[in-house]
Structure 1
Amino acid sequence: MFDLNTLAEFSRANCVTICTFLVPANLLVTILTMVLTALRRPSHQIWQSAAIASFFASVMILHVYTWFMIGVVMAPTYILMSLAISCLVTNLIAILFHRRYANSPSFSNNA
């Protein structure tokens, strides 16, 4: 059986390592999504980048929730939660922007 309590304990015990990976990964892949959108790359590339970024952001949200479960309410938990939510929203906006303006003449015209 899958034990969520053991997974939550693992998450809290390895917090520094998890955050050391997730914070830069979230930022880099979200920036990649924005760059791909600005460079007018094909939608599948933007969707792939946004999916990876959203996965990392979701893992960070779950990691922060393990701290909320035991009552740790400090500035780092809110900062990490804000970062993850910001990355999710940014990726969603990039997808919507690309979807809305990909077929417009001013977006696809390089002049």
Structure 2
Amino acid sequence: MLELNTFFHNTFHHIGDFSRNNCVSICAFLVPANMLATLQTMILVALSRPATELRWTISASILYAAIMVLHVFSWFIAGVVMAPTFILLFLGSVCLGLNVWAIAHPESMARLLRSLVTLVLPSQFNTNLN
């Protein structure tokens, strides 16, 4: 049992070190990937795309958001509590929440997104969305 405990301790220690040593590169990839994948999910939900098509984008979005949240937690474990860690945690949590909403209630998300589009776009474009 001690060997398994040591294995997990060493593994998480190395993953945490990797996360903290390559923070700029990880965030340079995860922030835009997270935002673009969540935006793609929202667009596909608003267009009422089939569930099979949504699964791939939602899966990628949730993966990016979960990795970002775990990356921020590695900084919290190291004792770094600064504005960027909270901003990244907020971004990851919001993206995660939007994707869970897209899984649980795509109809309500689509209805909200369509009503937002009708407020923003001129009336000539509104007929194509309903």
Runs of 4+ in 1 over 4 A off after TM superposition: 99-102
In terms of fraction of residues, the more helix-rich structure is 2
Is this contact kept in 1: 2:46–2:109, CA < 8 A?
A: no
Aligned residues: 104
RMSD: 1.9
Which one of the candidate residues 30, 38, 57 is aligned to 1:22?
30
Greater radius of gyration (CA): 2
- Flag the structure with more relative contact order, 1 or 2, with Cα contacts below 8 A and sequence separation at least 6: 1
Summarize deviations over 1:19-78 as a string: whole Å, max 9, x none: 000000000000000000011110111122111100000000110011000110000000
Q: What TM-score results when the alignment is normalised by the length of structure 2?
A: 0.74
- Describe the shift of the 1:101–1:21 C-alpha distance in structure 2 as closer, same or farther (beyond 3 A): closer
Q: What TM-score results when the alignment is normalised by the length of structure 1?
A: 0.85
Instruction: After superposing the two structures, state which structure 1 stretch, 26-35 or 39-48, moved more.
Output: 39-48
In structure 1, the gaps of 5 or more residues are 103-109
In structure 2, the gaps of 5 or more residues are 1-6, 111-128
Answer yes or no: is 1:63 the counterpart of 2:71: yes
- Structure 2 Cα separation of the partners of residues 57 and 35 of structure 1: 18
